Structure 1
Amino acid sequence: MTSDPTAEWQPTACILCECNCGIVVQTRDRTIAKIRGDKAHPTSQGYTCNKALRLDHYQNDRNRLTSPLRRRSDGSYEEIDWDTAIAEIAAGFAGIRDEHGGDKVFYYGGGGQGNHLGGAYSGAFLKAIGSRYRSNALAQEKTGEHLVDRYLYGGHTRGEFARAEVSVFVGKNPWMSQSFPRARVVLNEIAKDPGRSMIVIDPVVTDTAKLADFHLRVRPGTDAWCLAALAAVLVTEDLCDETFLAEHVSGVDEVRDVLREVPIDEYARRCGVDESLIRAAARRIGAAASVSVFEDLGIQQAPNSTLSSYLNKLLWVLTGNFAKTGAQHLHSMFAPLFSASGVGRTPVTGSPIIAGLVPSNVVPEEILTDHPGRIRGMIVESSNPAHSVADSATVREALGSLELLVVIDVAMTETARLAHYVLPAASQFEKPEATFFNLEFPHNTFHLRHALFEPLAGTLPEPEIWARLVRALNVVSDDDLRPLRQAAAQGLDAYAEAFLVAVRTNPALGRVLPFVLYETLGPALPDGLAGAAALWGLAQKTAMQYPEAVRRAGHVDGNALFEAILAGRSGVTFSEHEYVDDFDLITHEDKRIRLAMPEMLADVRALHADTPLLTSDEFPIVLSAGERRANTANDIMRDPAWRKGDVDGALRISVEDAAAIGLVDGGRARIVTAAGSAEATVEVSEVMLPGHVSLPNGYGVDHVDADGLSHTPGVAPNALTSTQWRDAHAGTPWHKHVPARVETLPAV
């Protein structure tokens, strides 16, 4: 590791959103001294937003953990050695397994925006103790969309916005939340091109909405009526691509019949958007040569979220915007973000398990009960449910009641403060790391980041933590692993042959494959890349699943792909698809899109009813809790010094509401919901509709400053949300639609 700030720039990546833009850095001692975009990165190509430039605040946070901790009976913590921690934790979870069943041990997490590689090793320990249930942040956002995707075509789609004639953003502000490569560059290109158009559906005049040709400024929570009206215009004005529908889509007539019943003028009134604007936007979609659509948390954490996911996909399916330049695409994935399993039910509440994920908001109910199937032990890795899940008070009560709670993290988070054991992980820049947010088409990229620093003294990378836990269970012996270790020393071809024989002849190895790879292939890898061993198995699967696309990208087989990943310091393109491949990526046997999703069509018909308002005289305003802004980055950046503005995380409120309540810009207000109350600095803003306020994400976290004091700047938004307000299909929370009341505070 270099300590000379004038030395060669080292490639790595930003970790603050799913894009994981490539960056190059110079280091000084243990600090990241200089940062700029990596022009050699095949996806981001030198692009980065302002947040990446402040990553040293993550790397050198005063809250970093440097020793395993064990909670005393009085609630305080004592430092213990790693051997003691591993032995006691393994014995504790084994005890729960033996007495109550391993399915009573719950796993939450598996990585944040850029640290997915460590979580790839958790499965070995979890299978060894019989754990079955898990959740993470995706269960607060994407499971409704996944439910729809799985029914329609079986996989995830992504728009090709850099080449789309019309780009549609639904509850999405990519200027702030990024989510696709070079987002701000692409948005500016669209805005400046008279031949292209941007449609934004959002109650807020976001930075993206300011660039839009059509801003459908819906009332909060009414996206479904707006989307249904748009789809109805496509059908009633004959704007659909009939050739595409006849050749590639099933169930079209059923969908048409439902959409013809939509009273477009009435739905326009309900959502607060002029009917002529809705019709103009629909006609622009129907006339375009290519359309791409992006939905995000604005609808995924609001009423009718799964229905809204379905309806926005009708916009591009009905108009044939699939498998062509600038349209919507299925894509390869280097590793699955979701389990291949279908929908199940949780043991206590019977809540839906979609793609293997329990809805985050039911986890407290699955704990705080005397039901024999209740959760008794929990492992939380690189996640902070005590802060990020709705109704923080109840979440903390639930976590505090567990027989055993273990947290693996880099910092003493709000969840870690409730744990029986806290295990300190190396930071994302102190170990090999990667993201599995590989979602692009036609070229898809994987980036293995090498360590910039040695792990901080007292910490371990997650692969080593999980390996030590598996070793403590004695599920495989050194004799079982010895042939694979010997084969690894002879090269990847010899290892592949030995691996297939070992797994076929010894079923015990198959249950803990990530551990086997780490223990046998890991030591043979160069440059301290033992933690990348799990990628060998993923490379083999990728090469088998997308053989032609992988070969087009320059990799003859899985071993060649793995070697390219190890060597590609700025990332590698692992698949290169042709547009016709989209149809092959549909998982249905007939390779057709199935459009008539029965439960969604029933929900469309239900929109006709007079839906009661969720607000009331007591709580007349809608709060959007967790807005992404220029100075927010979830809670991975815990030191408030990283923020250059909006230090307190202001409550944004409309000019009209501020005047009615008696609030002034820069003043203080109290915001009250059924779950709790908080005080916030006020920002009076024309971007907000009357009756709509917002608070940013990432505030209200514990932080120890230079004087050793604990501060919680801003509002922790989930002190104000409720676990009971959630989508009927997916259980995703309504963080963006919380009935609230805003009050003035007396002058100090």
Structure 2
Amino acid sequence: MTDPTETTERRFESNPTVCPFCGVGCSIEYAGRGSATGVEGPVNDRGEICPKGAAAFDVVDHDDRLTEPLVRHNGRFVTAPWEEALDRVASGIGDVVDEHGPDAVQFFASSNCTNEENYVLQKLARVLGTNNVDNCARLCHASTVAAMSERFGAGAMTNTLDDLGEADCIFVNGANPAEQHPVAFRSYVLPAVRDGATLVHVDPRANDTTEAADVHLPLRPGTDIQLLNAIAAVLTEEGLVDEAFLAERTTGFDRLREHLADVDVAASAEAAGVDPGVIREAARAYGGADRAAIVTGMGTSQHRCGTDNVHALLNLALLTGNIGRPGTGVNPLRGQNNVQGASDVGGLPSVLPGYEPVTDAAARERVAAEWGVEPPAEPGLTEVEATHRFGDEVRAAVVFGENPAVTEPDATAVASAFDELDFCVVIDLFETRTAAHADVVLPGSAWAEKSGTVTNTDRRVMRMRPNADLPGNARRDFEILAGLGRRLTDRPDAFDYEGPEAAFDELTRVAPIYEGMSYEGIGDGYQRWPFSERDGTGTEVLHADTFATGERTAPLAVVDPVPPVDDLDADELTLTTGRVLQHFNSGALSRRSDRLMAMRGEDALRVHPSDAAERGIEDGDRVTVSNERGSVEVAAEVTPAVREGVAFCTFHYAEPLANALTGGTLDPAAKIPEFKHSAVAVEPAPEGDATAESDGAGAD
């Protein structure tokens, strides 16, 4: 074993790989001196990258990286040999399974790790006997997937980044791609706008995306349905619907039209806090375009009614026939580099790889033919449901590359819940807040130290290649997970892989959407799902002739507004959260990035000038933000970019921990929490009680 006190020079080399940050999937490689550079790739064909990508190597060679396994001894962590640590994991998980059954274990997959790693993790859970596996897509786009899957049969981007250039109108709802997906915005959205496309932006605050917009709708958080129903009402009222498409490709139009006839546009505008004239302007821009594309983000999905929000958004595309053609569609932008892939490969509790329901007997039989074990037929718990049951029916957790003690809502309660577990193992790069509650922490591999594949936001499967060797005695995540599969299950042969490529080959036999793909076929480019081995291409535009449900038609939906969970007192503000350009959301990637930390300045609560004046707050003052769930202290940034009555805070850092204030009420369909609407009191902080900033983390 390597002497942990011995220092050795790490080897770095330049190999094209995929940026570990957002779901755009830019190609980067090692550029020397601890930095990354962009290289020409499938998405960034000019080799451009954003500030996040430029800082991607900061985390790889950081002094705080874990390099030895840690085991808890007398309440404290001590380093241990790998065999001892793995034996502790096997006995800890094994004891829970023996006493309480496999459904007492929850597996947390990782949306910033590879398809092959997540595939092995979900296989481990199911061979062990449980469908309790989930990833942080649950915290960002679960409601998007739920609504789109129900109506269209697939929860992924309907079109491609490339064909956004063919749109005459781009309707950005609850997303800020200029800061959150900068290369996608600069390379695909802005060129379309410069060519004459109208950009409509729906967001409670003005930001960099708004600067490029022709129309801005600064709605009150939690009023998406009122706003979208009002736009739909204008479309029907002013004859901006596609009658031929409605007749041939939809059902339920008469019922929806009757419902929309009762929608008072002016009253809906008042509820949303926007000008009714601007609603009509947005409706005419979208409905009057030959090709209109919707781009959507977490501002739409992260609500207790997120699924209904997306249903209301889908109505706009169906009413106007903007589906199944280039330059149209509904296009969710994923937050981390493999949110799409982690879900594709089965890192969800209700579906097998390729999104086939665990309740589908034929799908289970096909998987069993490959694995030698049939997966359970009962859907498992989502990650938020599981943390709510820690210490009761859930007694153990395997946390891979995630930090739920920070990323989940009501985070203080979640952190305490981890202490109720009988056993917890964390695989990560650093001692995160979640790792602080673990019994064993295994040092894994960063993005630049691994090979495999990831799937970007428009369904492109791309290769990851190593640019660095491992620090100290850390191990590659794939090896750790396969090793756990051999130790924890009675089918060790099912986890005897020669490497990630063997797992990918198995995935292509299990997941129909990946069938026919190969490392050789991907090469330095990509293969897109659903893939056709016959002609060697993937489908760019979904739902052209039939929907993924197999039906020619998709239903229109009547959607009624759902009130937010938190009622506001007269002196409270609505807290909403999000990302900004120089930040990222996962502690495993940027929590200790010196370059990003230097760029960020001080994290701040953004407050409208009138709200600040009422509370005696000036720009730069320390303020206390609190509700019944917790309290945080942060600097105030007084700015008219945030609408009155709303406060905005990023969720990137453990201090201030914004998710100490967010609530755990779940969307009934998608089980996604309410992140975008929390009632908070904001007041000047007591003098001399400043809270120190610390490492960062957050939800996708």
Q: Which TM-score tier does this pair reach, normalised by the shorter chain?
A: 0.7 to 0.9
AA at the equivalent of 1:148: A
Aligned to 2:470: 455
Going from structure 1 to structure 2, the CA distance change for 1:27 and 1:288 (only over 3 Å counts) comes to same
Aligned to 1:717: 658
- How big is each residue's C-alpha offset from its partner over 1:295-331, in whole Å with a ceiling of 9 and x where there is no partner? 2111212353221111111111110011212011799
Aligned to 1:130: 129
How many angstroms apart in 2 are the aligned matches of 1:746 and 1:69?
39
How many angstroms apart in 2 are the aligned matches of 1:413 and 1:619?
35
Aligned to 1:81: 81
Preserved contact between residue 380 and residue 408 of structure 1 (Cα < 8 Å) = yes
Aligned to 2:666: 726
Aligned to 2:385: 362
AA at the equivalent of 2:652: G
Preserved contact between residue 166 and residue 199 of structure 1 (Cα < 8 Å) = yes
- How big is each residue's C-alpha offset from its partner over 1:1-60, in whole Å with a ceiling of 9 and x where there is no partner? 99899xx853122111112211132245xxx34x22211435554131111111122112
The higher relative CO (CA closer than 8 Å, separation ≥ 6) is in: 2
Correspondent of 1:537 among 502, 506, 512: 506
The offset of 1:208, in angstroms, is 0.6
The offset of 1:379, in angstroms, is 0.5
Going from structure 1 to structure 2, the CA distance change for 1:330 and 1:629 (only over 3 Å counts) comes to closer
Aligned to 2:26: 21
How many angstroms apart in 2 are the aligned matches of 1:116 and 1:545?
13
Aligned to 2:575: 623
Preserved contact between residue 224 and residue 307 of structure 1 (Cα < 8 Å) = yes
AA at the equivalent of 1:414: R
Going from structure 1 to structure 2, the CA distance change for 1:229 and 1:11 (only over 3 Å counts) comes to same
576-585 or 217-226: bigger deviation: 576-585
AA at the equivalent of 1:91: S
Aligned to 1:506: none
Going from structure 1 to structure 2, the CA distance change for 1:612 and 1:383 (only over 3 Å counts) comes to closer
Going from structure 1 to structure 2, the CA distance change for 1:303 and 1:100 (only over 3 Å counts) comes to closer
The offset of 1:623, in angstroms, is 0.8
Preserved contact between residue 136 and residue 357 of structure 1 (Cα < 8 Å) = no
TM-score (norm 2): 0.85
Aligned to 1:414: 433
- Kindly indicate whether residue 17 of structure 2 is the aligned counterpart of residue 12 of structure 1: yes
The offset of 1:577, in angstroms, is 4.8
Preserved contact between residue 673 and residue 721 of structure 1 (Cα < 8 Å) = no
The offset of 1:221, in angstroms, is 1.7
Alignment of 1:432-447 (within 5 A): 432-437=451-456, 439-440=457-458, 445-447=460-462
Structure 2 SS opposite 1:645 = helix
- How big is each residue's C-alpha offset from its partner over 1:228-257, in whole Å with a ceiling of 9 and x where there is no partner? 100111122221111111111122222222
Aligned to 2:69: 68
How many angstroms apart in 1 are the aligned matches of 2:257 and 2:38?
47
How many angstroms apart in 1 are the aligned matches of 2:570 and 2:231?
34
Correspondent of 2:521 among 543, 549, 564: 564
The offset of 1:134, in angstroms, is 2.2
The offset of 1:586, in angstroms, is 2.2
Preserved contact between residue 63 and residue 411 of structure 1 (Cα < 8 Å) = yes
What is the Cα-based RMSD across aligned positions, in Å? Answer: 3.0
How many angstroms apart in 1 are the aligned matches of 2:30 and 2:599?
24
Aligned to 2:371: none
Aligned to 2:370: none
Aligned to 1:386: 405
Preserved contact between residue 626 and residue 681 of structure 2 (Cα < 8 Å) = yes
- How big is each residue's C-alpha offset from its partner over 1:169-199, in whole Å with a ceiling of 9 and x where there is no partner? 11110011118x6322333223323x31011
Going from structure 1 to structure 2, the CA distance change for 1:722 and 1:375 (only over 3 Å counts) comes to same
Structure 2 SS opposite 1:220 = coil
258-267 or 644-653: bigger deviation: 644-653
The offset of 1:589, in angstroms, is 3.6
How many angstroms apart in 2 are the aligned matches of 1:583 and 1:301?
29
- How big is each residue's C-alpha offset from its partner over 1:111-162, in whole Å with a ceiling of 9 and x where there is no partner? 2335443222113432332222122211122222222112211102345423
Preserved contact between residue 115 and residue 455 of structure 2 (Cα < 8 Å) = yes
TM-score (norm 1): 0.79
Q: Which has the larger radius of gyration?
A: 1
Preserved contact between residue 629 and residue 660 of structure 2 (Cα < 8 Å) = yes
Preserved contact between residue 144 and residue 729 of structure 1 (Cα < 8 Å) = yes
Structure 2 SS opposite 1:310 = helix
Alignment of 1:327-342 (within 5 A): 327-328=328-329, 335=345, 338=348, 339=351, 340=355
How many angstroms apart in 2 are the aligned matches of 1:265 and 1:421?
58
How many angstroms apart in 2 are the aligned matches of 1:650 and 1:261?
42
117-126 or 614-623: bigger deviation: 614-623
Going from structure 1 to structure 2, the CA distance change for 1:82 and 1:166 (only over 3 Å counts) comes to same
- Kindly indicate whether residue 423 of structure 2 is the aligned counterpart of residue 404 of structure 1: yes
AA at the equivalent of 2:551: D
Preserved contact between residue 20 and residue 114 of structure 1 (Cα < 8 Å) = no
**Number of matched residues?**
639
How many angstroms apart in 2 are the aligned matches of 1:2 and 1:88?
31
Identity of aligned residues (%): 26
- Kindly indicate whether residue 680 of structure 2 is the aligned counterpart of residue 680 of structure 1: no
The offset of 1:76, in angstroms, is 0.7
The offset of 1:698, in angstroms, is 1.3
How many angstroms apart in 2 are the aligned matches of 1:546 and 1:452?
26
The offset of 1:225, in angstroms, is 0.6
- Kindly indicate whether residue 167 of structure 2 is the aligned counterpart of residue 164 of structure 1: yes
- How big is each residue's C-alpha offset from its partner over 1:569-622, in whole Å with a ceiling of 9 and x where there is no partner? 4655675456786346623343321224xxxx3x42x56xxx589443376101
Going from structure 1 to structure 2, the CA distance change for 1:91 and 1:128 (only over 3 Å counts) comes to farther
Structure 2 SS opposite 1:36 = strand
Going from structure 1 to structure 2, the CA distance change for 1:343 and 1:460 (only over 3 Å counts) comes to closer
Structure 2 SS opposite 1:670 = strand
Alignment of 1:92-241 (within 5 A): 92-108=92-108, 110-156=109-155, 157-159=157-159, 160-178=163-181, 182-193=184-195, 195-241=196-242
The offset of 1:462, in angstroms, is 1.7
Aligned to 1:742: 682
Going from structure 1 to structure 2, the CA distance change for 1:330 and 1:174 (only over 3 Å counts) comes to closer
AA at the equivalent of 2:415: R
AA at the equivalent of 2:576: S
Aligned to 2:555: 594
Aligned to 2:274: 273
Structure 1 SS opposite 2:245 = helix
AA at the equivalent of 1:720: L
- Kindly indicate whether residue 697 of structure 2 is the aligned counterpart of residue 697 of structure 1: no
Structure 1 SS opposite 2:16 = strand
Preserved contact between residue 118 and residue 347 of structure 2 (Cα < 8 Å) = no
How many angstroms apart in 1 are the aligned matches of 2:583 and 2:31?
23
Preserved contact between residue 583 and residue 592 of structure 1 (Cα < 8 Å) = no
